[in-house]
Amino acid sequence: MEANRLGCSKGVIVVLDTNTLILMAAGVIPPSLLAETLESSHELVAPTAVKEELERLSASHPRSLTRRRARAALNLAERLSVTWVNTTLKEADDAIEELARALKAEGCRVVVATSDRSLRRRLRSIGVPTLYYRESEGRLELDWSPL
């Protein structure tokens, strides 16, 4: 895995999942909201499994809203300079957990941005904080602060 090439920055490493990138591209979560919520500098990363999942979605039905959103998410990731990290696992949620574990083991301050409840539970069990979009309040929320 390439997590060791990232190094631990002075800020927080934010691992993005597919649905978070899609919500960001759709304008539901403005990228500036990450900095406001974290109150820290941050680096955006995602496993290549997330990129591959977005590419698969963007190749779906020609007039599909999902297809357009996935393409927009890939474009946004490029504009935000998301670092794509190779992992040994190919399923996105497993790759996110693997990457978060590796970064945490290196002593990095890491948080995973996901609204996936089962993934959030898995990450909580290994001591990795999560950032999720609370739709009812229209804001991002940390499960607990990694800072």
What's the structural domain count of the chain?
1
d(CA 55, CA 34): 24
Q: Is residue 87 part of a domain?
A: yes
Q: Is residue 64 part of a domain?
A: yes
Mean pLDDT of the chain: 89
Q: Is residue 24 part of a domain?
A: yes
Note the pLDDT tens digit of each residue in 55-97. Answer: 999 998 777 888 999 999 999 999 999 999 999 999 999 999 9
pTM of structure: 0.90
Q: What angle do CA 48, 51, 53 make, to 5 degrees?
A: 110
Let me know: does 60 contact 115? Beta carbons within 8 Å.
Answer: no
d(CA 130, CA 93): 13
Give the number of other CB atoms < 10 A from CB of residue 34: 22
Note the pLDDT tens digit of each residue in 133-142. Answer: 988 878 888 8
Q: Is residue 31 part of a domain?
A: yes
Q: Is residue 104 part of a domain?
A: yes
The tokens for 81 are 């300079």
d(CA 63, CA 102): 39
User: What pLDDT sits at residue 146?
Assistant: 45
Q: Is residue 81 part of a domain?
A: yes
Q: Is residue 147 part of a domain?
A: no
Percent of the chain with pLDDT over 90: 68
d(CA 25, CA 27): 5
Query: Around 142, how many Cα atoms within 13 Å sit in the side-chain half-sphere?
Result: 18
pLDDT-derived band at 147, boundaries 50, 70, 90:
very low
Whether pLDDT at 39 is above 90 = no
Q: What angle do CA 82, 58, 60 make, to 5 degrees?
A: 160
Range of the domain at 35: 3-142
Q: Is residue 101 part of a domain?
A: yes
> Domain of 46: which CATH number?
3.40.50.1010
The tokens for 98 are 């693997």
